[in-house]
Structure formats: structure tokens, C-alpha cells
Structure 1
Amino acid sequence: MAKPESWRLDAASYPASIELQTRFQDMDINGHLNNVAFAALFESGRVLLNREVRPLIDRPANERTMVAMVEINYLGEGNFPDPVTITSGIGRIGTSSWTIVQAMFQNGRAIASCDTVVVCRTDGQAKPLRAEMVAELTDKLVTPANP
């Protein structure tokens, strides 16, 4: 993953944000947050964003969403016990998928970014997103503060 564009490192670009406490068990042998902790913290941010998209809750019984790809760009070291802020938004809406873009901040600096592709499947096949889901996802698009 290439170095993120500058707007990706500005928390104001994202419509959703959550502060999460780091844990002692998140540390690696060097005393920094390990890569599994980064992934789990980003996952918590994605869950928050997805819960704000109501049509995911009201979806038909035969519709499923699944993560197709996660890409994390480690920009700096994270430390315990300092909390992190995960910012999230929609970066792209496709026909049957969307991309969640995120950044992780600790003590005022960006320490990672993450892109996740989520695919919508109905009856086991990729199907176009429902109009109401597209509308909700559109409301959560990132707005680059420094394009």
C-alpha cells in the first residue's frame, strides 16, 4: 500500500469516530501495539460504521455482507496504555460492494490507515446493492478535508 494521501491522515475527513482503549495484551515483544491489535481496533471502527447504516440491519434474510479484502498501512508505532481513535467512512460505492476507509490516531498522530472492501451477496451470489443501502452509504462518504 502506498503512503496515504494527506486527507486520509486528517480525522476531520471521516464521518464516524470512536475512541478505544488499548490493552496490555495488544503489545508485542518490543512493547508496541502488534499487528493483530491494529486489525481488531480497525474492525471495531468498521462495526460502528456498519451499525449506522440502517439498511444493513433491515436487510432481507437471504442477503449477506462479507469482508473481501483488508489492507492495513502501518505508519507509526502504537503504544499501551494510550487509547486510539479510529475514524471511518465510505471511500467508494460499487455495484455490489463498497470500500470502508479508516485511519487510526494516537496522541494526535496518524499511526495507520486501513481499506476494507465489503461485498453484498444475495442467495450466494454478488447482487447489486439495494437503493436504500446506496443512499445510507452515500451519507457516510468521506469528505477530504485536504484533497
Structure 2
Amino acid sequence: MTDIPYLTPLSPDQQRAIGVTEPWPLALADRVRFAELDPLNHVNNVAYLIWFETARVTYFKRVGISTYADNAVEPRIVIRRGEIDWLQEMRADEDYVILTRAVDYRTSSFTLQQEIRAGGTVRATFTCVIVLLQPDGSGRMPIPPHVLEVFHRIDGVEKRT
């Protein structure tokens, strides 16, 4: 992935160039850093969670959920539930891509699916339920219509009836 930009959303063509046959709404490439290794010289489990978070924040900004600039009006974004599967170890200097998309939603919550791929294989997956709360935390906030439009048009989530 030497000519693929790190931590910059990849276009569908860039995703295909690195082996993602069905492009996702968000893909970020990066490389394993020495600081992310454990004493056994593979990536520490916590690093995966940080990588997934980096992609989630970028995704939220891109779909218009939050700019993380105005806590007085933007929703509080809470992970209600998350499930991670570590499928194959990763080591120093490996290039990887983090993929992110919405797969389901309700009135004030939605499910995100994420994958980390490297060397042509899925190394870890993370599925989480995100809840939007009012800026002051007083209750749930409905998903804004412009975000639902992205879920439908770009992520391919089926409209609820």
C-alpha cells in the first residue's frame, strides 16, 4: 500500500486497488506502529479498539452526526454495546485498512460494522450499537434525516417501514 494515503478516506478505486472487492462507505489505511506492539511482538488488543475508534470518529464526521466542535448542540455519541472478534494476529510495520459502515438503525440508535484487513485477510471485526443522546444527556436524540439519507444512499441500509 505504499502509494495509498494513510488516515485519509479511500475512494472506491483505491479500496479495490488494495483488495477490497466490494468498497465500503469508509475505508482508512494505516500501518502498525512499534508502540502498538505487546511483549510478544504482536499488536496489543487495545490498539484494535483505538483503530476502530479512529475510523468511527471519521465516519461520524463524514455522515454529519458530529463535528466534535460544539457540545452544546451536537449529540452525545455513546457505544451501548460492542462485540469484537480478533481473528488473526498482526505484527510491526503491517499495512492495514479499517472499513466502516452502518448496517441497521432504529429511531435514536444504529449498528455499525467495522473490519480491519491486512495482507488480504480480515484480522478483526467490531460490531457496535451507537446511541445518540441529547447534548445535555437528558435523553435520546433521534437520528437526523440527513444521516438517515446517508445510511440509505451510501451504506445501503434498507429503509424501515
The bucket for the TM-score relative to the shorter chain is 0.7 to 0.9
Q: In 2, Cα distance between the equivalents of 1:82 and 1:74? A: 16
For the pair 1:12 / 2:26, whether they are aligned, the reply is no
Kept in 2, the 8 Å contact 1:101–1:114? The answer is: yes
Structure ranking higher on relative contact order (CA contacts 8 Å, 6+ apart): 1
Q: In 2, Cα distance between the equivalents of 1:69 and 1:23? A: 28
Please list every run of 5 or more consecutive structure 2 residues that lacks an aligned counterpart in the other structure.
1-19
Q: Once the 2 structures are TM-superposed, how far is the Cα of residue 54 of structure 1 from its aligned partner? A: 2.1
Deviations 1:51-74 (A, max 9, x none): 211243498716322222222111
Equivalent position of 1:98 in the other structure: 110
Cα distance 1:140–1:68, how it changes in 2: closer, same or farther (>3 A)? farther
> How is 1:49-88 mapped onto 2 (pairs within 5 angstroms)?
49-57=59-67, 61=73, 63-88=75-100
Q: Any runs of at least 4 consecutive aligned residues in structure 1 with deviations exceeding 6 A, and if so which?
A: none
RMSD over equivalenced CA pairs, Å? 2.3
Q: Once the 2 structures are TM-superposed, how far is the Cα of residue 13 of structure 1 from its aligned partner? A: 5.2
Q: Which amino acid aligns with 1:105?
A: R
TM-score for the superposition, normalised by structure 2: 0.73
Q: Which amino acid aligns with 1:26?
A: E
Q: Which amino acid aligns with 1:103?
A: E
Q: Give the structure with the larger helix fraction.
A: 1
Give SS of 2:80's match: strand
Cα distance 1:11–1:114, how it changes in 2: closer, same or farther (>3 A)? farther
Which of 122, 134, 149 in structure 2 is aligned with 1:135?
149
Identity, in percent, stands at: 23
Please list every run of 5 or more consecutive structure 1 residues that lacks an aligned counterpart in the other structure.
1-9
> How is 1:1-40 mapped onto 2 (pairs within 5 angstroms)?
12=22, 14-40=24-50
Which of 115, 120, 143 in structure 2 is aligned with 1:108?
120
When the two structures are aligned, how many residues end up with a matched partner? Answer: 134
Kept in 1, the 8 Å contact 2:65–2:75? The answer is: no
Q: Which amino acid aligns with 1:135?
A: E
Q: In 1, Cα distance between the equivalents of 2:74 and 2:26? A: 28
Q: Which amino acid aligns with 1:138?
A: H
Kept in 1, the 8 Å contact 2:66–2:75? The answer is: no
Which of 128, 132, 140 in structure 2 is aligned with 1:120?
132
